[in-house]
Amino acid sequence: MAPAHKQSRIVGWYDKVAAFKVEDLFSRKREPGPQRTVFVNENLPEDYHDAHGKVLPDHVYATNQVITSKYTIVTFLPRNLLEQFRRIANMLTVPSVQIKLTIKLRFFLGIAVLQFFPKFSTISPGLVILPLLIVIGITAIKDAYEDVKRHQSDRRVNNSVVRALGGGDWVNPNVMQRKSKTFVRGVLRTYGRGAKKVKAAPHGEELEGVTGPPEPLPGVEYDDVEEEHHRFPHFSANKDQVADFARPHWMQKNWEDVAVGDFVKIMDNESLPADILICATSEEENVAFVETKNLDGETNLKSRNAVPALTHLRTALECASPHNSFRLECDRPDVNMYKLNAAVRVGKDTFPVDMPMVLLRGTVLRNTSWVVGVVLYTGADTRIVMNSGGTPSKRSKVERQMNPQVFINLLLLALMAIACGVVDSVLEHRDFPGNAPWLFWANRPGDNPSINGLITFAFALITFQNIVPISLYISIEFVRTCQAAFIYFDSHMVHNGIATLARSWNLSDDLGQIEYIFSDKTGTLTQNQMIFQKCSIGGKIYHGDEDEVDEDSLEKAALVKSNTSSPPSYPSALGNVDLNRGQLVSEIPLAELRSSASTAVDQTAKPLDDPESQVDAVDPTKAASITNTPVKALHHFHDAELSRDLVAAVNADTDSAGAAHARQLNGFFTVLSLCHTVLTNLDPITGKVEYKAQSPDEAALVQAAADMGFVFKGREREVLYLQTPFHGAASGRQEGEGAQGALGHSSLAAQAQEGLLERYELLNILEFTSARKRMSVVLRKLDTEDGRLFLLSKGADNVIFERLKPGSQEELKQTTEQHLDEFASEGLRTLTLAYKVIPEDEYAAWSERYHEATVARDDRDAKIEAVSNELEHDLRLLGATAIEDKLQDGVPETIADLKLAGIKIWVATGDKLETAIAIGHSTNLIGTESNIIVIRGNSSGRPVYDQIVHAAENFFPDSGILDSEDAPGIEATAMHAAQRLQSPLENANSTSATGNPGAPLRRTETGISSIVGENNGDRPGGFVLVIDGTALEVALTDEKPKNLLLKLAMLCEGVICCRVSPLQKALIVKLVKDGIGAMTLAIGDGANDVSMIQAADVGVGISGEEGLQAVNSSDYAIGQFRFLKRLLLVHGHWSYARNGTMILNFFYKNIVCIGVLWWFQIYCAWSSNYVFEYTYLLFWNSFWTIAPVISIGLFDRFADDHVLMAVPELYWYGKEGKWFGIRQFGVYMFDGIFQSAIIYFLIAYTYMTISSRPDAWQVALNEFSTTMVFSAVFTANLYNGLNTSAWTGWVFFAVFIGSLLVWVYTAIYNIIAPGWFVTTVYGNNVFLFESAYFWLCLPITVCLALLPRYLYKAYTFAFNPNDIDTLRYVYKVDPHRDLAHDPQLRSTLPSLKRRPTASLTSRTRSQSRIGSMTSLPRPSMDLRSASRTDMSTGVRSVHRGFDFATEENGVAMRRMQSNLSERRQSSRNLATHPDSGANRGRKGTLGHVLSLPRNFLRKKVSNAKDLEQ
């Protein structure tokens, strides 16, 4: 047992050594502490202190200072040196073992140190070590420059300001770590600090701790002084007023100084500096809206609410009062951004706290004037930072591949040195007894045949050291730096004046080998804009005119506060009215049909000269700090034909032919205008309506309705007000600005009484959920005699269609389906609209059942859904909408070309499944013929592992990925074996009576009908896997499902991961990167993408609206996603081909030199002597042969940029590693050895046969060795030129400059007289240049040496050209030929013939009717062809573009439903008149919740004015 124990200890030590990282020496990984209790206005308990009075480390919280930089002044030198030694470490793979050999730089250092000893000295030791110092110095300068940029970014963010509580007797007792300083970070301790003593104050208890307020800053704000403040330059309105710092106030505080337990006040459009618990908000219901796209990529706003027990803490005075003391008991810091278990303890009462009461760092406050909160977590303990990784040290793949090659050369060097040492020792032992004169006195302790063998070994290491040239690393660093400059100065990758920036210079060749791209969605593929593009109304499609953008919106934004022009003039332009008909009798001008009410610019926007408006958005976690909302151009929907139809509808008679379509138009836009939860605010100056929506889809829908004349004016309590062309005719009686002012400034109720607006009473909201896929509202139309009840619905096409009235509107349904297919094929997000009129008695009975369901204690959600479903039937179809989630320019084309290049693209987003699929369609990631496999994690469906197994079994039965999987219940029965032979459609339609997780794929009843097209799962478009974050969390926790998921994903054309956290994004990248060793690239634009960017081999950041953290953490920064194509296909291809060829040629030319030296050892008794004069060897890599290899790295082009862009398939050569590898290395090494033999033996035997001197004297060593130098230099340079594809002027210069220099050097060096300094070659010119052997040997040896390579290249180009050779020739012969669309050319090039993908190959093998890829049916034009299979439920459907983004079960919706329930409860036993809802004034009604407070986003003028309102 002892040996086993010893072995396990050895293995344990080895594992520790193998897992060692240089970063661990300098980065202090702080484990999340235990559960914390935050004390507010209370002293810390005694058990929080140690015996010395210092606070225990477990209760010292992380500073809010976030640092992404790697080095400090103190740690830079040791850490950078260690990283360089590690970076150039060799990786040797032994079976199942990786051995790190950090011997390359150590070898150079050892050789340099060896020559400091006189016995081994060749030239000045300082000159010997100079190249090593140059390599280390250049690399260190580059690393320092990159880190300085990180420091600057960190400084900007950490010095952002926020309002924090100060003054009075308030003090924060919670203890924080010391902030790190740049020059001492990593050295000082950061814990063990003690709190100061607590002093009693006359009015109560005063706590004086280390986190108490520092010296007040100049900017101070008091709650009792109304100022126009949304940015800190406006803090002090009265400069003559002396700030009373003794009073509680809000003061400026840097983000890095924010402490746990601090009170902070966040204003609208400001970012959160930490994770904050909400105490109170500006809204009457204490609701706040927050934008989380920087965390999860979702564009819809999330609602949050304050802790009920803390809502009284609304001012600085109340927060600072010692009577308002409480404790916050929190979980330990966690990476889960959707879960929090905490509680507020006030006295003896405890109140629960969950995530909807917390604002996380990285989010931005929206549509809320202010929020007061308490800081819970700071810095490294915040959710977003914990989901981010540390700054990694990345090495390129070429660098890693070069390590085995260097190891081979080192091994060769060792063998050569051993051979010289052993043979020299053997020869000396043989010749010493014979009194050989050259061994005289070779019998001393330091000089004898035995010891001389070791000395010769050491000399051999020095002689042949150039076999691993240190100049190679200097050359690589220089070339990569120039390649980074080429990328920066590429004018084709400049956006808004910002060029593409290479932040990591050592990864340029990795850009040419990418196999997988992992992309974020929001801000990376999309522009965060929802634009209403098309609609289908009553079977008629309206495509919309070209996008109308209010180009003056930016200018108007700056002038909106001074704009005192007339309010909207729309109603007064409607013309004369026939009041008896209630319709317009005069034609409405087309331009006037568009509503003047539009989404106005945020009133908090500051002028451009506001210095705070220019703060960079560089949150390290990272939203912008206090910064203005970017003002976007307003997009309006306009369709001339629709406008004409509306004009005709307004003037149509009830009995005319167009009356039916008029009703459809009115109903369609009424649903758009009223079926939503949009909030409104009326600008008091301009009279414009501002729409504030949680959902960007709803904002686009309501805005489009307003553009067409159906303007939702807002809510007053539970009454909704709508201005329509059909009802707003009364405004025609009013003229001039008076009428306009009345509409703009009078109350909505007054406008409705004047007949300007329609009124609807909101009775019920049947909210949208992912399961329901629809939203409905129940309304009562007021101001009419009958007071009819309406159900207005919008949702997914299949959900709405199955709820239509049976047997009616069949033709309309079919037409609308076709329109939806057209919308979906264009990647648009679709919604279907319908309505019904509800009989009064039916609603009364239903309302009673609905109320009982809402108050049910058990299974409330299911009961509400069931009752809701009872009402949502017999609907009448109105039409459908199509919204574009605006893509970045060129995204579909870029993705299509990257797929042609053989790169697989995965999308990782925080958005929901439908949104992710819609983006997949619009970006070409999912084609019209693609089949979607959906795997989702839920408690009601099939387990995640079984979903993966069934997906593999049904769609890839012959792929073999299940052969190694232990899948009980899947392969155990003959039934399953038989099912393998069935088609996927038959498997899908098969049913099982049991719910066994191992049962075959089956159709389950989910309340959602599926529309199944033909040949589902058999379409030739391949498969796209869609998986949500919950399923990923399950799959990645265990090796078995993780490996199977990876195998399944490899068989798919693409993968879309939805609802994933930032940490899961990084895990997805590592799954592919580590699982199959593929080269990965991650691209994103927000802080939630940082982990993914850092985990990938290459990280690309986009300078978007979500801040610059993605850019700061990236290796390359681009302005648009479309630049990725050129970055990879052109710069990546060039860099990889250039660097790979340069390195191979570098090894080759050194082997030529070392080979000549080695062959000489045969004739010098293996004494390790030089055949060359030493200076020739010294300058070999400095002057003679350095220029051609550098020119390859800088100027060589295997294909021009437009060819690479036109033919993306050429990227395959880099992806498959054709330019660099062990095979290519072996070929070049063989060439070098062969050519060195030709050079040495031909010249040596030429000079040794007959003397070249006229006097027939024997030639000296320097005569023929100098000829060998010339021949070797000419051969190496011409060989490098032969391997260059594009000969430019620079290449010509580089190839011949070395040969010229060796001529000039030899001519001058050989005439230096001994009076200057002694050389062994003085006078050699006389014999060298006058010898016929010299002039004869040079051309013969050079030609013979280059002949094999020349013949090989000529043969391959003429008889076996590759695609690049062919395209180069085609372009040379016909420069104007369209390479991208030449079918004849593409059919003849092997790499341009699309290889069958893994998914298609698997499907082909499994179906005998498809013999080969060429026999696959051509893609069908049926837009319903692509199938979608939910493996959780077994439902198959066809995607028609449905998508709708909104918060589900949010705080705001719960408040609405609560108030509705309260209203129903109070009116259940009352006889309700149809108009009874119009005059209700109860504060708790629904209308009170949905309408914005009157002071929402208004300009504050004075306290008196506020009180008047």
Residue 743: its H or E element: helix 736-745
pLDDT at 145 (0 to 100): 82
Task: Enter the pTM of the model.
Answer: 0.75
Q: Report d(CA 1465, CA 606) in Å as an integer.
A: 46
pLDDT at 1237 (0 to 100): 96
pLDDT at 1425 (0 to 100): 43
Rounded to a whole number of angstroms, the distance between the first and last alpha carbons of the chain is 87
Structure tokens at 1458: 């609560």
pLDDT at 1481 (0 to 100): 36
Residue 768 annotated as part of some ligand binding site:
yes
Q: In what order do the strands lie in the sheet with 302-305?
A: 302-305, 287-291, 364-366
pLDDT tens column, 274-316: 999 999 998 877 888 888 877 776 667 888 889 989 999 999 9
Residue 773 annotated as part of some ligand binding site:
no
pLDDT at 1055 (0 to 100): 93
Among the listed ranges 113-127, 742-756, 1003-1017, which one has the minimum average pLDDT value? 1003-1017
Q: Tell which wins on pLDDT, 481 or 856.
A: 481
pLDDT tens column, 954-990: 888 887 788 755 444 333 333 333 333 333 333 333 3
Active site residues: 520
pLDDT at 1438 (0 to 100): 63
Q: Report d(CA 1448, CA 1454) in Å as an integer.
A: 10
pLDDT at 458 (0 to 100): 87
Q: Give percent of the chain with pLDDT exceeding 70.
A: 70
Contacts of 1299 (CB under 8 A, 6+ apart): 1273, 1274, 1277
Residue 602 annotated as part of some ligand binding site:
no
Residue 240 clears pLDDT 70, i.e. is over it: no
pLDDT tens column, 146-163: 788 778 878 888 888 999
Q: Tell which wins on pLDDT, 632 or 1251.
A: 1251
pLDDT at 1114 (0 to 100): 87
pLDDT tens column, 1310-1332: 888 887 877 888 888 888 888 88
Residue 522 annotated as part of some ligand binding site:
yes
Residue 1122 annotated as part of some ligand binding site:
no
Residue 815: its H or E element: helix 810-825
Q: Report d(CA 956, CA 1402) in Å as an integer.
A: 6
pLDDT tens column, 1237-1291: 999 999 999 988 877 777 767 778 888 899 999 999 999 999 999 999 989 999 9
Residue 1106 clears pLDDT 60, i.e. is over it: no
Residue 991 clears pLDDT 90, i.e. is over it: no
For 715-736, what is the mean pLDDT?
A: 65
pLDDT at 545 (0 to 100): 83
Residue 1397 clears pLDDT 60, i.e. is over it: no
Residue 1083 clears pLDDT 90, i.e. is over it: yes
Q: How confident is the model at residue 23 (pLDDT cuts 50, 70, 90)?
A: low
Q: How confident is the model at residue 105 (pLDDT cuts 50, 70, 90)?
A: low
Q: Tell which wins on pLDDT, 1061 or 235.
A: 1061
pLDDT at 999 (0 to 100): 37
Contacts of 1213 (CB under 8 A, 6+ apart): 1133, 1137, 1219, 1362, 1364, 1391
For 252-278, what is the mean pLDDT?
A: 91
Q: How confident is the model at residue 189 (pLDDT cuts 50, 70, 90)?
A: very low
For 319-345, what is the mean pLDDT?
A: 87
Among the listed ranges 606-610, 663-667, 880-884, 1082-1086, which one has the minimum average pLDDT value? 606-610
Q: Report d(CA 213, CA 220) in Å as an integer.
A: 13
Q: How confident is the model at residue 164 (pLDDT cuts 50, 70, 90)?
A: very high
Structure tokens at 764: 């019920």
Residue 1062 clears pLDDT 80, i.e. is over it: yes
Give the distance from CA 1083 to its chain's centroid.
4
DSSP for 165-206, written as a single string:
EESTT-----EEPPPP-TTTTTTS------PPPPEEETTEEE
Contacts of 269 (CB under 8 A, 6+ apart): 230, 364, 365, 366, 602, 604, 627, 628, 629
Q: How confident is the model at residue 1467 (pLDDT cuts 50, 70, 90)?
A: low
Q: Give percent of the chain with pLDDT exceeding 90.
A: 23
For 632-649, what is the mean pLDDT?
A: 81
In the block, residue with structure tokens 């010098």: 1164
Residue 371's DSSP bridge partners are 266, 281
Residue 1040 clears pLDDT 50, i.e. is over it: yes
Among the listed ranges 174-188, 189-203, 885-899, 1407-1421, which one has the minimum average pLDDT value? 1407-1421
Decide if 1206 contacts 1130 (C-beta within 8 A). no
Quick one: 644 exposed, middle or buried, by C-beta within 10 A (0-12, 13-18, 19+)? Answer: middle
Residue 447 annotated as part of some ligand binding site:
no
Residue 735 clears pLDDT 70, i.e. is over it: no
Query: b or e along 1212-1239 (b: 16 or more beta carbons within 10 Å of the residue's beta carbon)?
Result: bbbbebbbbbeebbeebbebbbbbbbbb
Q: Tell which wins on pLDDT, 441 or 1327.
A: 1327
Taking residue 1325's Cβ as centre, other Cβ atoms within 10 Å add up to: 16
Decide if 595 contacts 707 (C-beta within 8 A). yes
Q: How confident is the model at residue 498 (pLDDT cuts 50, 70, 90)?
A: confident
Average pLDDT for the chain = 75
Strand intervals (E) in 187-269: 199-201, 204-206, 220-221, 249-254, 263-267
pLDDT at 1327 (0 to 100): 85
pLDDT at 1252 (0 to 100): 73
pLDDT at 982 (0 to 100): 35
pLDDT at 964 (0 to 100): 59
Strand intervals (E) in 1059-1153: 1080-1084, 1098-1102, 1116-1118
Residue 698 annotated as part of some ligand binding site:
yes
Residue 370 clears pLDDT 80, i.e. is over it: yes
pLDDT tens column, 810-819: 899 999 988 9
For 559-571, what is the mean pLDDT?
A: 33
pLDDT at 1097 (0 to 100): 92
Q: Report d(CA 1184, CA 1304) in Å as an integer.
A: 11
| 1245: three-class secondary structure by DSSP | helix
Residues in the chain, how many?
1509
Contacts of 979 (CB under 8 A, 6+ apart): 953, 987, 990, 1000
pLDDT tens column, 822-880: 888 777 888 999 999 999 889 989 988 888 887 777 787 788 888 888 898 899 999 99
Q: How confident is the model at residue 239 (pLDDT cuts 50, 70, 90)?
A: very low
Q: Report d(CA 385, CA 43) in Å as an integer.
A: 29
Q: Tell which wins on pLDDT, 469 or 1178.
A: 1178
For 1427-1451, what is the mean pLDDT?
A: 64
pLDDT at 833 (0 to 100): 94
For residues 939, 942, 943 and 945, what is the CA-based torsion angle, rounded to 10 degrees?
A: -150
Residue 1406 clears pLDDT 50, i.e. is over it: no
Residue 196 annotated as part of some ligand binding site:
no
Decide if 1088 contacts 522 (C-beta within 8 A). no
- What is the 3-class SS of 875-888, one letter each residue? EEEEEEEEEEEEEC
For 5-34, what is the mean pLDDT?
A: 59
Decide if 619 contacts 1107 (C-beta within 8 A). yes
In the block, residue with structure tokens 């990227």: 1211
For 700-710, what is the mean pLDDT?
A: 90
Structure tokens at 724: 């329509």
Residue 1080's DSSP bridge partners are 516
Residue 1088 annotated as part of some ligand binding site:
yes
Decide if 1441 contacts 829 (C-beta within 8 A). yes
Phi and psi at residue 1337, to the nearest 5°: -70, -35
Among the listed ranges 93-102, 419-428, 1327-1336, which one has the minimum average pLDDT value? 93-102
Q: Report d(CA 937, CA 945) in Å as an integer.
A: 10
pLDDT tens column, 108-125: 666 666 666 666 666 666
Contacts of 982 (CB under 8 A, 6+ apart): 990
Is the bond preceding 6 in cis, omega lying within 30 degrees of 0? no
pLDDT at 433 (0 to 100): 74
Structure tokens at 938: 């839920």
For 1280-1308, what is the mean pLDDT?
A: 93
Among the listed ranges 788-802, 1189-1203, 1340-1354, 1479-1493, which one has the minimum average pLDDT value? 1479-1493
